[in-house]
Chains A and B, each alone.
Chain A
């Protein structure tokens, strides 16, 4: 079975550029989560969706961050304009809310803003 698929795996760009991260959740999962991981803060929840609808975006650090889920098989996280402090590994995870299932993670996008 295909797991959560994220792209790109690595992104290096200059400060001020727009960055778009992509995620394909596991088919049949109705929850999708975006996380950011750094050595200092660990895994931080940015936003999560249920049935393509954003439920809680309180973790989105600033208005420069936005996320969309146009359909059940695709989500994007966009940063515009990017800043060096946005450098981190960004993970997408999905789950089904039934029976308290675990979240399943993609392998992340390592983002470096120069």
Chain B
């Protein structure tokens, strides 16, 4: 069964304190892994797509990496405006349904 697990559920960081969020997945075959950011009262906003193990994508203070079993979202020197819930989703080889994790709620304290 296709499954996505994110950890930790919540993370509090001091401004400038780097850390990583984890997304572990089980799929029969991976077509793509997607990272989203969700702010309160808004819909998830697309950040990155990763397609194959070893691939990396960067955007400002965020870097996403992918292995055959998991993905990490590394946050370098975070700022308070990085506070949000980060969701990952996988798209298996079969079908067109995305499977979402339950997210990591990130709070960056000034």
Assembled-state Cα–Cα distance A31/B95 (Å): 12
Number of B residues, CB within 8 Å of A: 23
CA distance A106 to B44 in the complex (A): 8
Nearest residue, chain A, Cβ from B48: A102
Q: How far is the CA of A93 from the CA of B31 in the complex (A)?
A: 19
Are A100 and B51 in contact (CB-based, < 8 A)?
Answer: yes
Q: How far is the CA of A91 from the CA of B45 in the complex (A)?
A: 12
Interface residues on A, range: 20 to 34
Tell me, in angstroms, the Cα distance from A4 to B97 when the chains sit together. 18
A-B pairs with beta carbons under 8 A, tally: 48
CB distance from A58 to the nearest CB of B (A): 10
Tell which of A14-22, A42-50, A61-69, A77-85 binds the partner.
Answer: A42-50
**Given A31-B96, A50-B96, A100-B31: A107 touches B41 (CB 8 Å cut-off):** yes
| In the bound complex, CA of A94 to CA of B41 (Å) | 19
CB nearest to B89 among chain A residues? A103
Residue of B nearest to A43 (CB): B100
CA gap between A107 and B43 in the complex, in Å: 4
- B51 to chain A minimum Cβ distance, whole angstroms, is 7
Provide the residues of chain A in CB contact with B32, threshold 8 Å.
100, 102
Known: A4-B43, A43-B87, A105-B44. A56 touches B49 (CB 8 A): no
Once the chains are docked, how many angstroms separate the CA of A107 from the CA of B45?
9
B76 interfacial by beta-carbon distance below 8 Å: no
Scoring B residues 29 to 47 as 1 if CB is less than 8 Å from chain A, else 0, what string do you get? 0011010100001111110
Question: Is B20 interfacial (CB-CB < 8 Å)?
Answer: no
Question: CA of A33 to CA of B34 in the docked complex: distance in angstroms?
Answer: 16
B78 close to chain A: CB less than 8 A? no
Please list 9 pairs of residues, one from A and one from B, whose beta carbons are closer than 8 Å in the complex, sorted by A's number.
A33-B98, A42-B100, A42-B102, A93-B43, A100-B32, A102-B49, A104-B46, A105-B43, A108-B43
Residues of chain B whose beta carbon lies under 8 Å from any beta carbon of chain A? 31-32, 34, 36, 41-46, 49, 51, 87, 89, 91, 95-98, 100-103
A105-B36, A108-B42 given; name 6 further pairs at CB < 8 Å. Answer: A4-B43, A91-B44, A100-B91, A105-B44, A106-B43, A110-B41
